[in-house]
Structure 1
Amino acid sequence: MPVLPGAGFSTGSCNMDTRTTTRLLMERGVIVPDPGSVYIGDDVDIDRISGTGVTLHPGTRIIGEKTLIMAGATIGSEGPVTLDNTRVGPDTQLKGGFFQDAVFAGKNVFGSGAHVRGGTILEEEASAAHTVGLKQTILFPFVTLGSLINFCDILMAGGTSRKDHSEVGSSFIHFNYTPNQDKATPSMLGNVHQGVMLNQRPVFMGGQGGLVGPCRLAFGTVTAAGTIWRKDETRPDRILFGGALKEGSIPRKAGVYTGPGRIYTANCSYIAGLISLMNWYRIVRSLFVVDHLSEALFLGMRETLQSCIDERIKRLGDFCTRLNASRKILLSRSRGETTELIRIHEAIIQGWPRTLEILAREACHDHCNTVPEPFLKAITNKGSYIEAIKHLDTDTALTGSNWLQTIKLSIMEKIKL
């Protein structure tokens, strides 16, 4: 039903621009139960808000020229929501909280009390319950987070459907900041090249637990509730468990890195995985752009993924810089003698400029000429993205996985110590 000028609007603190914009959205079909309680910034492009099945509940605040809301989205059903340059895919429910520079690919559900910041991508049907904080986090389709979770600087894959999905139990933390004050701590649960095929065993992280980054865990990994895990486990289908640390007190020298090689390799592996994912986005996901809104969502995913790559390269660079001070401390301890640990420090420090150059170049390189043609033909025109991927037979999916893994391995070969 057309809305008469001024009908149903309260004077409140809502300025005329917001009232006008809200009225225009309602005329296009957006459901706004209490128009006076909704704020829409002057920089919001209303052509990026669908008029089909979108509901903006009381307390909704929308700002940012990049903000996108697609058909069927519901905003603020449990509490106030702020959307700041966030792309909201179709049939997504953001129930309450703060969302900034994030992307929701579609059919996502996020509970109230959210605090979601830049570099976050929830692919199709990934979800989170209440009071969850995310930043620089990528969740592949179907991944499910419980409540009271802090999950930053991490990528999680695994699972084949909403009934067979990777999950993180409530009250879980990814520890992403070290006593040496760096964030060279990204963790990858599963991997990119197999995870995108939606045919791998789920990963389950037990509640009341944690993971100390950087860490790599294979598909099928289960951590027992209450476990805080600190090591890589690249063997699939393992149960990991552990109790509290043994009590003790030992001397500590701030600024010393005792395992720089592992940290460097884990970060490079993570970045190489993100670069392979970028090629997946460019070459495969681009096939599913059908209109200007889906194009805006796709571009948002690419832009956000690029920001994740840039962030990880920056954090790795900060870590490499800190190794200079660590090396000096170790040299003073060894009275100038070069130990194996010092040699690893020096190899990373001296190699970083070349590594930086390679990672920056690879991040921009398009591998469209290397994708196997039979794989690309098999994935074209098969309905939605999820349907198309799940339609692939085992051999075709393996071909695609091998292509992505080759991209990652070629990068790792170029930058190895």
Structure 2
Amino acid sequence: MPNNRSQRIDVLTLKDILIPSPNSIEIDDSIDTDRISGNDTVIHAGCRLFGSQTLICDGVELGAEVPVTIKNCFVGPNVKLKGGYFENCVFLEGAEAGSGAHVRAGTIFEEQASIAHTVGLKQTILFPFVTLGSLINFCDCLMAGGTSRKNHSEVGSSYIHFNYTPNQDKATASLIGDVPNGVMLNQNPIFLGGQGGLVGPCRIAYGTVIAAGSIYRKDVLKPDHLVFEGGGRGGSVPYTTGIYRAVKRQATNNIVYMANLFALMAWYTHIRGLFVGERFPKALYQGLIDTLKTAIDERTKRFSAFCEKLQHSLQLYEKQMGDSASGKLVQQKKELIANQNLVVERIGENLAQIETYANPKFISIIEKKIAVCDPVYIDVIKSLDHVQAQLGTQWLQQIVERMVAQMLDLFPSLR
């Protein structure tokens, strides 16, 4: 083979894969061809593969509509990536992406999650069945809800998750659903109507419908509500970039989000790991764990950057407000500035102990169900009865609550 950095695929290089136009497929020298399966896999003309971590499982189809570029992605069985750019992300069995996708680091598509054409994602986690329409930017979110492909959470076309503030921070991740209930695949779906947007960081309960055209800026903590926003009032008021006039909700929602990611890590470690096998190879599982660690690292970094900005904000705020500066707000900022590093330490300590965050009774239930039927993740989880599912939810909810309590102990004024 030539020594140049990348080369056109030789039919013999990936001999078991259907390549309609083999001379038009490019594979980088970094690719480990042993990590690319050939059973019922199709790679169409123009596709490009990069990265030593890239994994492609059985039944995958790449580039059916337009070429696909993949870099260090973990692509599970029967995934269809119809066109676009994908880097450092994970696709579990049956996930799909339409053409024009731009999917980057920290993104996880769980089973049968899908996006239509021209969707941008980064640091986004979609639970099974979650569906996004077209022309969407949906970075820094976790979305769950729904029970099947016919009853799923959905984001309407032309939707935006606003994840960057005028104060130039991205501590804005939104929790649409949650982990303890969402992993049980038994919750009412959430619908975010098209031509709208969500201004992060938000928390949205199951069963919520946000009407089309709404730019929503609030939390929806009560389930099964229709919410909507009218046109905003016009106006012009003095504004100073860099001053945070409220921090409690932003800080608290970030803490809750991080705690949910930690609960998801416990679920992946103790439950997802039980499914490793032919349909869920160990390399795919490891990619899932590593990508979730990336997501936790991202949220920790963004929270720390937010806290660092509060020192300058505090100086500007006290200079502008003088004696009328709010004592409570000042105290909240000082606590966040002083204790931000302890948040990082506590997250690291808890991750190091993830193996101890197990619920043996619930694990035993899953093991028994796997033993008597095919180890298909969705089928096993959906076979749980109400009492069994509640046991799993309570286990994960306790993890979330414990993590949140640990964090808020550092910031008493946020309570």
TM-score by length of 1: 0.93
Residues 16 and 316 (structure 1), Cα distance of their counterparts in 2 relative to 1, 3 Å cut: closer
Query: What is residue 396 of structure 1 aligned with on the other side?
Result: 388
Matches within 5 A, 1:199-348: 199-291=186-278, 294-335=281-322, 339-348=327-336
Distance 1:24 1:303 in 2: 28
Distance 1:194 1:338 in 2: 38
Distance 1:254 1:16 in 2: 46
Matches within 5 A, 1:359-378: 359-368=347-356, 370-371=358-359, 373-378=360-365
CA offsets, 1:143-198, max 9 Å, x none? 00000000000000000000000000000000000000000000000000000000
Report SS of the residue matched to 2:125. Answer: strand
CA offsets, 1:204-244, max 9 Å, x none? 00000000000000000001110010001110001011122
Q: Residue 109 of structure 2: which of 90, 103, 122 is its match?
A: 122
AA matched with 1:168: V
Residue 14 of structure 1 contacts residue 37 of structure 1 at CA under 8 Å; is this kept in 2?
no
Query: What is residue 404 of structure 2 aligned with on the other side?
Result: 412
Residue 124 of structure 1 contacts residue 142 of structure 1 at CA under 8 Å; is this kept in 2?
yes
Report SS of the residue matched to 2:30. Answer: coil
Residues 14 and 53 (structure 1), Cα distance of their counterparts in 2 relative to 1, 3 Å cut: farther
Residue 14 of structure 1 contacts residue 36 of structure 1 at CA under 8 Å; is this kept in 2?
no
Distance 1:360 1:183 in 2: 21
Residue 283 of structure 1 contacts residue 368 of structure 1 at CA under 8 Å; is this kept in 2?
no
CA offsets, 1:127-152, max 9 Å, x none? 00000000000000000000000000
Residues 140 and 292 (structure 1), Cα distance of their counterparts in 2 relative to 1, 3 Å cut: closer
Q: Residue 62 of structure 2: which of 75, 81, 88 is its match?
A: 75
Residue 279 of structure 1 contacts residue 368 of structure 1 at CA under 8 Å; is this kept in 2?
no
Residues 293 and 240 (structure 1), Cα distance of their counterparts in 2 relative to 1, 3 Å cut: closer
Distance 1:123 1:179 in 2: 32
* Per-residue deviation, 1:338: 6.0
Report SS of the residue matched to 2:350. Answer: helix
* Per-residue deviation, 1:364: 2.7
TM-score by length of 2: 0.94
* Per-residue deviation, 1:294: 1.0
Residues 307 and 16 (structure 1), Cα distance of their counterparts in 2 relative to 1, 3 Å cut: closer
Q: Residue 345 of structure 2: which of 357, 381, 399 is its match?
A: 357
Query: What is residue 3 of structure 1 aligned with on the other side?
Result: none
Report SS of the residue matched to 1:193. Answer: helix
Residues 190 and 17 (structure 1), Cα distance of their counterparts in 2 relative to 1, 3 Å cut: closer
AA matched with 2:66: G
Query: What is residue 84 of structure 1 aligned with on the other side?
Result: 71
Query: What is residue 386 of structure 1 aligned with on the other side?
Result: 378
Distance 1:24 1:297 in 2: 22
Distance 1:49 1:322 in 2: 45
Query: What is residue 128 of structure 2 aligned with on the other side?
Result: 141
Residues 150 and 362 (structure 1), Cα distance of their counterparts in 2 relative to 1, 3 Å cut: same
CA offsets, 1:266-313, max 9 Å, x none? 111101100110010011000111159711111101100000000000
Residues 78 and 292 (structure 1), Cα distance of their counterparts in 2 relative to 1, 3 Å cut: closer
Bigger drift between 382-391 and 174-183 goes to 382-391
CA offsets, 1:78-132, max 9 Å, x none? 0011010011110010000000001001101110001000000000000000000
Residue 155 of structure 1 contacts residue 188 of structure 1 at CA under 8 Å; is this kept in 2?
yes
Distance 1:260 1:188 in 2: 18
Distance 1:134 1:140 in 2: 14
Distance 2:73 2:6 in 1: 21
Computed over aligned residues only, the root mean square deviation of the Cα atoms, in angstroms, reads 1.9
Matches within 5 A, 1:172-191: 172-191=159-178
Report SS of the residue matched to 1:23. Answer: coil
Bigger drift between 287-296 and 59-68 goes to 287-296
Query: What is residue 10 of structure 1 aligned with on the other side?
Result: none
CA offsets, 1:11-43, max 9 Å, x none? xx99797456542312xx200000010001111
Distance 1:46 1:21 in 2: 12
Residue 21 of structure 1 contacts residue 40 of structure 1 at CA under 8 Å; is this kept in 2?
no
AA matched with 2:396: L
